[in-house]
């Protein structure tokens, strides 16, 4: 029986979950009761039509079947599984909301595909080895890729089109167009277009450069070579010429040029190993299989013909649905038969496949989406002030036009002959009105002209400056050595450039646990076998320095990773199967070694006699278990699709793998059916405790189950991840039945995944328990310190995890999230009513606690997180709370707590929790996570951070920033976030000020020119003002200025509070700045006015004085506020002033301008220089005084810290005395 191998294992990693209600095949397998349940639960969905199901991110899955049929079992089990069943039923309710998130979303797409039969219209037909025929009907895209946005021809229109998406640019364009009208021409044509053209040009050059780089990389990519079958032999061909339907040959370590369906590989069983690091960042090897039907075919010898019918190109990299007609047979293809573009072939000499998707239709390219675009909070706030500025602008224009109206009205009789107005025009021979359109129109034109003259009141250059500054800030963040992870060689990544400054204002941090707080490197710690706990307390690694090893053909095989072992258990495992205990231990470790999808790789070492066995697998838990089994003498040595070889205590044993039901998140378990050498057949199952306990036969060994449950409880309490292992021996009729249905299911074309799952659930029942394992997921380096820093900085840290409550709490303790001083509120409810009551109780409780112990907490803001309350809530309760009226209560409660731990939460709930906070407060939220399950939360939060860790790149792809480790969050937020916020806030205010000063100077002058909008400052100077004269220093300061050193910021996390209090940018500062603006502009204008009143000064000369005065004053103002002068700052500020002088000289050296040589004349007079000096000093005095008084008598934290930093009493004060937030408490040490 065992000789007849079942079909190769289809291994959909994340199976497509849907099935059709009834398959005749099953009727004899499914017991009547569950069948009826089956119908019951699915019929309403069918009546609903497919759409809601297709949209649901969590498909109503077959677990709902279990919960219906097995409630009787689960109800007498534990509360956990009871809650579980309830939860999952409700999950489908939650799930019907059409929310897409992350990979789950794409899965559901695929699942919607899979439930349909691929009909001919939807299908993509590929004739193997016949690219001509393949491509004749449908125009499939070729394999050349194009990531570049523009070509030479389309660059100008497209780039302009994209740039004009900004409202600000349109404003400028409108102004420039207005200025072209002859009646309104305030500036010359060239001068008015200049600023806009400059901004557009800078952006266009930047875009062009980026695009050029993309073009170059495209060209390199497209011209790589691959072996393609042509005329019965493989020839080299450029990647871009590969067409769908062609047969390709890939050698080891080659990168795949397009998505191919495997036909055969150099391995006789048709296995190919691929590394998908370019695709999803996972570095372990994955197995792909060629179909048996095509295995033996050699394309050079015989012509392969066939037809592949597959789904349309889609983004789901974990799903593929197709079938292949070959030699008249119809073979189905799944995700395990396709290798995607970008993967690398490893450990396989060669592979042959047929191209199915090429070029931009490959899954890798379809996944190449741009970074998400978010808007920074500061920018949103800035828009409010922009509105104020617009109001100013309109007010100024109104004043000017109203005055002009009055003036015109009062002088209406004189206008005709007024020497400086002369309405009458005799030049045409007849009397005419020269440039006069009536009183009303004149006023209207005056208004428009004043808008043109005062246009820079709205600081358009601010937008471009902000972008440049952000690029600079991002550069420094990326280059920061303290954000560089040596272990994974990953740099900090800035994927969203718009929200740098938001990092300085974060209040809520939502963190994932696994892989974010922990390393996601699993270590086997202890096991409970047959009710006996082997915790390995006295284990020592030293004793077994070399670990376990076996001798094979004179060579020593040794597992790559050493595991500390429990000597007692080791002894038992070596004693063989003689004793009852030994037998159980044997089965347990056999299960660990066999029940997985690990691929052992034997690698050579420097010592030729020693070879290492490296376990490659998709799940770190499985790796840990396999290494553990190896350490106890059950070393998995070889795995093919048909059999595995396990070295059992030095004795090679070959087991036939008769079937394997892969792990999926719905069943939460996996099973393998092994044919033993003695012809017995056993099924080994391992899985999460909740799902396993429901399928274990309670009638047997109740004591053992109880004991194991107790051990599980204990393991999870000390923070271990637990798995339960069970087994069952199959008799031949059971096996036959299973084999029949398994084969039927695995070859079926429709809803295969669901059918397979049904088969699995039929075999995974009535198991006898073997034991449980505890795996430790170590905390990442520096996590407790990081969390403490974040808390001291006034941030609230929430941990959202899928782990069990006990595990979560214990991790909470070890990561210093929870301390023994805290009062924990645990909400753990199974119904809406009880949730409500729990929340109410908790509220009452928290109020009570507040009044006595937590008074300081009320005053919390200055003291950060004086932590007294910790809320622990589980996913089941959240199901009832989120999206209901209880949300508000939860929010109230949570906002009182400084720590919130959510356990057992689903990905969608994570997003829900983030939304709970985000929708109710103005505080900034940050989500950090590493896995696909965190994507929804990362996208929901204001700032999303992805950890580029073990679990692939999904989170990174969705994130705004990506980094290697959780602890980097501290320098990122406390240092860079603080700097960025402070710099950006200052820069915005300064830009407002800078432009407003200039506008006010113009405005004052207009009041002395009959409101006729003459500008003394030349039009060229006014256009260059925000481009050359004053722009560079603000950008340099925006990028480089630092208020405090990195060390200070890290030592005193409280300083982060300046961001929470909006200290760098707020309405008060804005108004103060504006008042300063009015004063300074008045000084600039009126000092020369009075000094030169009744003097023969001409307009151009005094205009030059004003120009220089305003530029130097504005730059000195900046210089006064600079906190850290490096040579770059010096160069920028003084350089700008010098550049201005040069520009003014150059402009005045042009004879065709009216102001010719003015500066040289006025520069010779002493009055000029005295005026300039007087303006500068008088202009700056108020700000200087206020600044000093503020810093000295009403200092903010930053000022104090700066002083301390400068005068060195930081160290002498020491950390202890600065304890405003009593977070450090010695008693916690005893708890840990």
Which 1065-1104 residues touch another protein, going by CB under 8 A? 1087, 1089-1103
| Start-to-end CA span in the chain (Å) | 56
Does 930 appear as a known binding residue?
A: yes
Member of 174, 487, 571, 1128 binding another protein (CB under 8 A): 1128
Q: Which residue has the tokens 């999950």?
A: 91
Measured from the CB of residue 1001, what is the shortest distance to another protein in angstroms?
13
**Does 921 belong to an annotated binding site?**
no
If one counts every other C-beta atom within 10 angstroms of the C-beta of residue 396, the result is 20
Q: Which two tokens stand for residue 563?
A: 């595991």
Q: Examine residue 437 and tell whether it contacts another protein (CB under 8 A).
A: no
Which residues, including other chains, have CB under 8 Å from residue 244's CB and lie 6 or more apart? 126, 131, 134, 135, 140, 258, 355, 356, 357, 358
Q: Closest CB to another protein among 334 and 771?
A: 771
892 binds another protein (CB under 8 A): no
> Which residues sit opposite 350 in a β-bridge?
251
Which of 718, 750, 1027, 1082 is in the footprint of another protein by CB under 8 A? Answer: 718
Is 1125 a binding residue for another protein by CB under 8 A? The answer is yes
- Shortest reach from residue 667's CB to another protein, in Å: 22
Distance between CA atoms of residues 1141 and 203, nearest Å: 27
Q: Looking at residues 493 to 512 of the shown chain, list those that interact with another protein (rule: CB under 8 A).
A: 493-498
For position 180 contacting another protein by CB under 8 A, the verdict is no
Among positions 98, 268, 1154, 1222, the unique one binding another protein when judged by CB under 8 A: 1154
Which of 831, 888, 1142, 1222: binder of another protein (CB under 8 A)?
A: 831
Contact flag: residue 699 with another protein (CB under 8 A): no
The residue from 64, 401, 465, 490 that contacts another protein (CB under 8 A) is 490
Residues 374-433 that bind another protein (CB under 8 A): 374, 411, 414, 417-422, 424-427, 429, 432
CA distance 622 to 1219: 45
If you ran DSSP here, which 8-state letter would residue 731 be given? P
Q: Count residues near another protein (CB under 8 A).
A: 167
Cα-to-chain-centroid distance, residue 1006: 52
The one segment of 138-146, 369-377, 578-586, 932-940 that binds another protein by CB under 8 A:
369-377
Segment contacting another protein by CB under 8 A, of 303-311, 729-737, 837-845, 1108-1116: 837-845
**Interaction of residue 481 with another protein, rule CB under 8 A:** yes
User: Kindly report the CA angle at 364 between 359 and 370, in degrees rounded to 5?
Assistant: 105
| Geometric angle at alpha carbon 95, from 90 and 101, rounded to 5° | 140
Nearer to another protein, 180 or 1231 (CB): 1231
By beta-carbon proximity to another protein, the closer residue of 380 and 580 is 380
Q: How many CB atoms lie within 10 A of CB 31?
A: 11
CA atoms of 662 and 423, how far apart (whole Å): 92
1184 in contact with another protein (CB under 8 A): yes
663 is in an annotated binding site: yes
Is 430 marked within a binding site? no
Q: Which is nearer to another protein, 212 or 1125 (CB)?
A: 1125
**Contact in structure between 1037 and 1122 (CB atoms under 8 Å):** yes
- Separation between Cα atoms, residue 1158 and residue 1165, nearest integer Å: 11
| Sole binder of another protein in the list 714, 1028, 1082, 1131 (CB under 8 A) | 714
Minimum gap (Å) between residue 962 Cβ and another protein? 9
Is 622 annotated in some ligand binding site? yes
Spatial CB neighbours of 349, under 8 Å, sequence gap ≥ 6: 251, 252, 266
CA-CA-CA-CA torsion sign (98, 101, 102, 103): negative
Phi, psi dihedral angles at 31 (to 5 degrees): -70, 155
Q: Does residue 982 touch another protein according to CB under 8 A?
A: no
The answer to whether the annotation marks 520 as part of a ligand binding site is: no
Q: Confirm or reject binding of residue 438 to another protein (CB under 8 A).
A: no
Site for another protein (CB under 8 A): which residue of 68, 218, 1161, 1163? 1161
**Residue 1170 within binding range of another protein, rule CB under 8 A:** yes
Stretch that binds another protein, among 71-79, 93-101, 359-367, 541-549 (CB under 8 A): 71-79
Helix (H) or strand (E) holding 1038: helix 1031-1040
Of 4-12, 523-531, 1024-1032, 1171-1179, the window that binds another protein (rule: CB under 8 A) is 1171-1179
Give the residue carrying structure tokens 């201005």. Answer: 1140
The reply to whether 187 sits near another protein by the rule CB under 8 A is: no
Is 553 a known ligand-binding residue?
A: no
Q: Are 810 and 817 in contact (CB under 8 A)?
A: no
Binder among 20, 31, 39, 79 for another protein (CB under 8 A): 79
- Segment 99 to 118, residues that bind another protein, using CB under 8 A: none
**Pairing label, strands 796-800, 899-903:** parallel
Please classify residue 923 by burial: count the beta carbons closer than 10 Å to its beta carbon, then call 0-12 exposed, 13-18 middle and 19+ buried: middle
Region 842-881 residues binding another protein, contact defined as CB under 8 A: 842, 845, 851-852, 855-856, 858-859, 862-863, 876-877
Contact 787, 973 (CB under 8 A): no
Q: Can you tell me whether residue 294 is helix, strand or coil?
A: helix
- Round to whole Å and give the CA distance between 5 and 27: 25
- 151 vs 831 by CB, closer to another protein: 831
Quote the least distance from Cβ 871 to another protein, whole Å.
Answer: 10
Catalytic residue numbers, as ranges: 512
Span interacting with another protein, options 49-57, 542-550, 657-665, 1177-1185, rule CB under 8 A: 1177-1185
Q: Per CB under 8 A, does 181 bind another protein? A: no
Least gap, CB of 423 to another protein (angstroms): 8
Residues 1078, 1079, 1081, 1087, Cα dihedral to 10° = 150
8 A C-beta contact, residue 331 and residue 324: yes
> Which residue from 599, 725, 809, 897 is in contact with another protein, where contact means CB under 8 A?
809
- E strand or H helix that includes residue 1116: helix 1099-1121
Residue 280 known to bind ligand = no
Token reading at 1053: 């996390």
Taking the C-alpha atoms of residue 371 and residue 494, their distance in angstroms, rounded to an integer, is: 10
Q: Identify which range of 313-321, 760-768, 908-916, 1167-1175 contacts another protein by CB under 8 A.
A: 1167-1175
CA distance 164 to 463: 13
Interface with another protein includes 540 (CB under 8 A)? no
Supply the minimum distance, in Å, between the C-beta of residue 127 and another protein.
39
Q: Residue-wise over 532-556: b if at least 16 C-beta within 10 A, else e? A: bbbbbeebeeeebeebbbbeeeebe
Residue 1231 lies near another protein (rule: CB under 8 A): yes
Query: Is 802 within any annotated ligand binding site?
Result: yes
Alpha-carbon distance 1150 to 1168, whole Å?
Answer: 21
Q: Are 613 and 601 in contact (CB under 8 A)?
A: yes
Smallest distance, another protein to C-beta of residue 424, A: 7
Strands 322-326 and 259-265: unpaired
Q: Look up residue 75 and give its two tokens.
A: 């109800």
Q: At 1054, list the tokens.
A: 């409280």
The answer to whether 1024 and 461 are in contact (CB under 8 A) is no
Q: Which is nearer to another protein, 296 or 856 (CB)?
A: 856
Q: Is 749 in the site for another protein (CB under 8 A)?
A: no
From 587-595, 686-694, 792-800, 822-830, give the range in contact with another protein by CB under 8 A. 822-830
Q: Which of 212, 437, 1071, 1160 is close enough to bind another protein by CB under 8 A?
A: 1160
Q: How far apart are CA 1176 and CA 1181, in angstroms?
A: 9
Say whether residue 1163 binds another protein (CB under 8 A).
Answer: no
Q: Is 904 within any annotated ligand binding site? A: yes
Told to check if 282 binds another protein by CB under 8 A, we report: no
Which residues are part of a known binding site?
Answer: 512-514, 622, 663, 686, 721, 801-803, 904, 910, 930, 933-934
Output the known binding site for ATP.
Answer: 512-514, 622, 663, 686, 721, 801-803, 904, 910, 933-934
Please enumerate, by residue number, every residue annotated as part of a binding site for Mg(2+).
Answer: 512, 514, 930, 934
């Amino acid at each position: 029986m065992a000789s007849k191998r079942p079909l190769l294992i289809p291994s959909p990693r994340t199976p497509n979950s849907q099935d059709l209600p009834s398959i005749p095949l099953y009727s004899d397998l499914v017991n009547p009761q569950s069948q009826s349940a089956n119908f019951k639960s699915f019929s309403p969905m069918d009546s609903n039509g497919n759409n809601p199901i297709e949209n649901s991110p969590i498909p109503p899955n077959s677990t709902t079947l279990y919960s219906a049929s097995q409630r009787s079992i689960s109800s007498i089990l534990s509360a956990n599984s009871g809650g579980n069943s309830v939860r999952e039923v409700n999950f489908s309710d939650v799930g019907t909301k059409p929310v897409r998130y992350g990979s789950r979303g794409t899965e559901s797409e695929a699942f919607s595909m899979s439930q349909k039969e691929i009909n001919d219209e939807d299908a993509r037909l590929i004739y193997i080895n016949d690219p001509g025929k393949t491509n004749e009907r449908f125009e499939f895209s070729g394999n050349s890729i194009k990531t570049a946005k523009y070509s030479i021809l389309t660059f100008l229109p497209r780039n302009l089109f994209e740039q004009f998406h900004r409202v600000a640019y349109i404003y400028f364009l409108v102004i420039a167009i207005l200025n072209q009208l002859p009646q309104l021409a305030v500036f010359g044509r060239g001068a008015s277009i200049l600023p806009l053209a400059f901004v557009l040009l800078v952006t266009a050059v930047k875009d062009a450069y980026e695009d050029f780089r993309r073009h170059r990389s495209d060209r390199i990519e497209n011209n790589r070579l691959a072996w393609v079958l042509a005329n019965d032999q493989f020839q080299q061909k450029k990647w871009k010429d590969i067409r769908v339907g062609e047969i390709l040959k890939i050698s080891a370590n080659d990168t795949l040029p397009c998505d191919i369906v495997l036909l055969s590989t150099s391995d006789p069983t048709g296995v190919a190993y691929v590394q998908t690091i370019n695709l999803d960042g996972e570095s372990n090897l994955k197995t792909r299989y060629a179909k048996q039907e095509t295995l033996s075919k050699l394309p050079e010898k015989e012509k392969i013909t066939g037809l592949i019918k597959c789904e349309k190109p889609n983004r789901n990299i974990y799903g593929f649905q197709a079938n292949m007609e070959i030699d008249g047979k119809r073979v189905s293809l799944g995700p395990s038969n396709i290798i995607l573009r970008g993967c690398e072939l490893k450990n396989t000499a060669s592979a042959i496949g047929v191209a199915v998707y090429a070029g931009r239709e490959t899954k890798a390219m379809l996944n190449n989406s741009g970074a998400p675009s978010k808007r920074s909070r500061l920018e949103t706030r800035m828009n409010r002030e922009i509105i104020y500025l617009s109001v100013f602008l309109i007010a100024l224009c109104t004043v000017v036009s109203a005055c002009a109206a009055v003036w015109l009205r009062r002088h209406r009789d004189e206008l005709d002959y007024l020497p400086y107005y002369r309405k009458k025009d005799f030049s045409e021979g007849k009397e005419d009105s020269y440039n006069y359109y009536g009183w009303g129109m004149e006023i209207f034109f005056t208004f428009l002209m004043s808008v043109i003259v005062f246009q820079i009141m709205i600081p358009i250059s601010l937008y471009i400056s902000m972008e440049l500054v952000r690029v600079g800030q991002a550069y420094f963040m990326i280059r920061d050595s303290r954000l560089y992870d040596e272990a994974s060689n990953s740099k900090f990544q800035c994927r969203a450039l718009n929200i740098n400054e938001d990092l300085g204002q974060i209040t809520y941090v939502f963190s994932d646990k696994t892989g974010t707080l922990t390393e996601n490197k699993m270590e086997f710690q202890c096991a409970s076998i047959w009710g006996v706990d082997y915790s390995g307390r006295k284990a020592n690694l030293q004793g077994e320095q070399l670990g376990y090893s076996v001798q094979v053909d004179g060579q020593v095989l040794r597992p790559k990773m050493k595991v500390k072992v429990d000597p007692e258990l080791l002894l038992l495992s070596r004693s063989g199967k003689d004793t009852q205990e030994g037998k159980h231990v044997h089965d347990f470790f056999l299960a660990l070694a066999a029940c997985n999808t690990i691929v052992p790789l034997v690698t050579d070492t420097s010592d030729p006699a020693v070879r290492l066995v490296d376990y490659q697998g998709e799940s770190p838990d499985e790796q840990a278990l396999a290494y553990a089994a190896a350490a106890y003498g059950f070393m998995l040595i070889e795995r093919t699709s048909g059999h595995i070889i396990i070295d059992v205590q030095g004795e090679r044993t070959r087991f036939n793998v008769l079937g394997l039901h892969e792990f999926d998140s719905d069943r939460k378990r996996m099973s393998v059916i092994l044919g033993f050498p003695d012809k017995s057949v056993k099924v080994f199952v391992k899985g999460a405790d909740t799902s396993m306990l429901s399928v274990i036969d309670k009638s047997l060994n109740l004591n053992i189950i109880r004991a194991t449950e107790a051990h599980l409880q204990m393991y999870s309490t000390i923070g271990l991840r637990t798995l339960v292992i069970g087994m069952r021996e199959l008799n031949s009729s059971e096996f036959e039945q299973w084999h029949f249905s398994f084969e039927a299911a695995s070859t079926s074309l429709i809803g295969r995944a669901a059918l397979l799952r049904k088969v699995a659930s039929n075999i995974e029942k009535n198991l006898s328990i073997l034991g449980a394992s505890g795996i430790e997921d170590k905390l990442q380096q520096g996590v407790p310190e990081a969390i403490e820093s974040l808390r001291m900085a006034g941030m609230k840290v929430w941990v959202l995890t899928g782990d069990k409550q006990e595990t979560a709490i214990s991790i909470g303790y070890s990561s210093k999230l929870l301390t023994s001083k805290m009062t924990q509120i645990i909400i753990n409810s199974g119904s809406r009513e009880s949730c409500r009551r729990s929340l109410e109780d908790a509220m009452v409780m928290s109020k009570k606690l507040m009044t006595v112990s937590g008074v300081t907490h009320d005053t919390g803001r200055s003291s950060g997180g004086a932590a007294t309350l910790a809320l622990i809530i589980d996913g089941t309760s959240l199901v009832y709370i989120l999206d209901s009226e209880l949300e508000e209560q939860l929010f109230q409660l949570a906002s009182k707590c400084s720590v919130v731990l959510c356990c057992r939460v689903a990905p969608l709930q994570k997003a829900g929790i983030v939304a709970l906070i985000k929708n109710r407060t103005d505080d900034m939220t940050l989500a950090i996570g590493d896995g696909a399950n965190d994507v929804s939360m990362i996208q929901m939060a204001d700032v999303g951070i992805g950890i580029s860790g073990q679990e692939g790149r999904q989170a990174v792809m969705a994130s705004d920033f990506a980094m290697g480790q959780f602890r980097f969050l501290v320098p990122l937020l406390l240092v860079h976030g603080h700097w960025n916020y402070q710099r950006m806030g200052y820069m915005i205010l300064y830009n407002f000020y800078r432009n407003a000063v200039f506008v006010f100077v113009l405005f004052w002058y207009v009041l002395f020119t009959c409101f006729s909008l003459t500008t003394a400052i030349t039009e060229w100077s006014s256009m260059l003002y925000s481009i050359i004269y004053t722009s560079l220093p603000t950008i340099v300061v925006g990028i480089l200025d630092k208020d405090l050193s990195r060390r200070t910021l890290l030592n005193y996390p409280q300083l982060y509070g300046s961001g929470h209090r909006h200290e760098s940018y707020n309405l008060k500062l804005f108004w103060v700045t504006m008042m300063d603006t009015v004063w300074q502009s008045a000084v600039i204008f009126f000092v020369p006015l009075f000094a030169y009143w009744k003097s023969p000064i001409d307009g151009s000369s005094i205009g030059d004085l004003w120009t220089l005065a305003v530029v130097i004053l504005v730059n000195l103002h900046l210089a006064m506020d600079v906190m850290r002068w490096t040579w770059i700052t010096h160069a920028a500020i003084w350089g700008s002033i010098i550049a201005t002088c040069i520009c003014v000289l150059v402009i005045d050296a042009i004879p065709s301008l009216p102001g010719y040589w003015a500066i040289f004349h006025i520069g010779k007079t002493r009055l000029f220089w005295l005026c300039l000096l007087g303006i500068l000093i008088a202009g700056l005095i108020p700000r200087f005084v206020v600044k000093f008084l503020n810093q000295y008598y009403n200092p903010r934290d930053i000022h104090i810290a700066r002083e301390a930093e400068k005068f060195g009493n930081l160290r002498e004060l020491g950390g202890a005395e600065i304890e405003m937030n009593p977070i450090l408490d010695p008693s916690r040490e005893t708890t840990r």
